[in-house]
Homo-oligomer: A and B are copies of this chain.
Amino acid sequence: MTETTLEMARAEIDPEAACPIAPVVDIVFSRWTTPILWALNEYGRQRFVELERRITSITPKVLTQRLRQLERDGLVVRTYHPEVPPRVEYEISELGRSLAPLFASLAEWAAGNLEKVERARQDYDGREPLPGRRA
């Protein structure tokens, strides 16, 4: 398997990640990319403003940046219509769509375990500082 060797080589070259999924995380789970991909996968081809309105609290500048990145990585397809006013549409690519089951698993994990995380936090915040921590 050439891919295994590639993985190993990459892990060796990039030592900060002795972790083979680090590159994917960079690509798929960097800031804002998840909501964007989710929106495109869930609601289909959309214009810039639609995405902007759907993903509240993202600024147009950042949305543009992220869409460029996703387009460059082949996860999103951008279509420009030379009209007046101009119209641009974004849709998820086939490669991007291949992430759907992964996202579904993630949603499933969230549904089952997010509550536990919340309880762990309250537990942690509630108890007194333990030995070996602070003074």
Name A residues whose Cβ lies closer than 8 Å to a Cβ of B.
3-4, 6-7, 13-25, 27, 29, 34-35, 38-39, 54-58, 71-75, 80, 82, 86, 88, 95, 98-99, 101-103, 105-107, 109-117, 119-121, 123-125, 130-133
Contact = CB atoms under 8 A, between A and B. Distances in A.
Contacts of A132: 80, 82, 86, 88
B57 A116 contact: no
A133 B28 CA distance: 24
A18 B131 CA distance: 41
Contacts of A20: 38, 107, 110
Nearest to A4: B111
Contact of A18 (B23, B35, B72, B99): B35
Contacts of A117: 27, 73-75, 95
Most buried by B among A4, A27, A82, A86: A27
10 contacts: A16-B35, A21-B107, A71-B124, A72-B121, A80-B130, A82-B132, A86-B132, A95-B113, A95-B120, A102-B106
Nearest to A71: B124
Which of A16, A56, A125 has the largest number of chain B CB atoms within 10 A?
A16
